[in-house]
Amino acid sequence: MDNQHHHRNHTNSVTTFSFISDWDDEPFTDEDLQAIEAALQSASKRPQPSSSHNYDDNDDHNSGGADPPTDGGGGGGGGGGRRRRCPVPFSLSPCQANLRMRYPVMKFGGQITYSRTAVEVEAAAMELLNTVGAKNRDVGEAAVRFDIEWRPTFKKGFSPGKAAVLQICGNTSHCHVMHIIHSGIPQSLSLLLENSTLLKVGVGIGNDAVKVYKDYNVAVKAVKDLSYLAKRKLGESQRWGLGSLTETLISNQLPKPNIIRLGNWEADVLSRKQLRVCCQ
């Protein structure tokens, strides 16, 4: 069941959603974190077992002095799978040593306009062209967030599907999701993508641009890959993804569940969950 409240409007058959986060998806409050910290401190003050005793749910089955099993395991050995011992004398579940503070979940709370037909995508692209044109006149430059989705293949020897969904966000409050597997790329959208004065930003955007050209013979110009920019600015050797950038720079989680991300982007109509993932 979808726990998101939504408002839905129809204008010329274009579907616009405004998503409002549900209460049970909200991050921990300061009071919640303080309560967790107090519980951990209280637990650490309890009487400790003798030094020869290691805390283990299946301690009755341990032989004296035997080393605890390592991570992984789960094999079908005759001894029955003993769970990993915590490296601390007392622990809540999971082990304190493995406890990781949960970042607040980042969610897009703005408007999502979903366009599926060629007429709808043409109108959406015209709206974006007008918006970025005004921004260019006002501040001298404009940038949009750009990303694509396609249907993956899990069979050897089969190529992945064509770019099926194109997302363009002109600002933080409005994103356009265009179902180009059904609409194709009409003239206005082609003009937008080939506009060399409009910066398109994203993670792995170079590969996305290559795929769009290969699938639709449209060149996406003026692209900037945030992962390479992060590498230069942050001085790290790792390959930056959108999720790791979100955690590092603004201490938020960026949920992209595989069951949605690797789903069918060529569906006749995208689900609300797919639309949300598009705009994360």
CA atoms within 13 A on the CB side of 78: 0
Mean pLDDT of 43-66: 42
Across the strands, what pairs with 147? 167
Query: Is pLDDT above 90 for 265?
Result: yes
Are residues 254 and 145 both part of a single domain?
yes
Query: Is pLDDT above 60 for 45?
Result: no
Residue of 120 and 69 predicted with greater confidence: 120
Are residues 225 and 179 both part of a single domain?
yes
Q: What pLDDT is stored for residue 23 in this prediction?
A: 29
Q: What pLDDT is stored for residue 110 in this prediction?
A: 82
User: Are the C-beta atoms of residues 112 and 17 closer than 8 Å to each other?
Assistant: yes
Are residues 113 and 247 both part of a single domain?
yes
User: Are the C-beta atoms of residues 81 and 75 closer than 8 Å to each other?
Assistant: yes
- Residue 125's SS3 state is helix
Q: What pLDDT is stored for residue 129 in this prediction?
A: 93
Q: What CATH number is associated with residue 156?
A: 3.30.420.10
pLDDT tens by residue, 2-19: 444 444 444 445 666 544
Buried residues in 127-147 as b, exposed as e (16+ CB within 10 A) = bbbeebeebeeeeeebbbbbb
Q: What pLDDT is stored for residue 83 in this prediction?
A: 45
pLDDT tens by residue, 129-174: 998 888 877 777 889 999 999 998 888 888 889 999 999 988 878 9
Per-residue pLDDT band at 255 (split at 50, 70, 90): low
Are residues 118 and 23 both part of a single domain?
yes
Query: Is pLDDT above 70 for 187?
Result: yes
Is residue 153 in a domain? Answer: yes
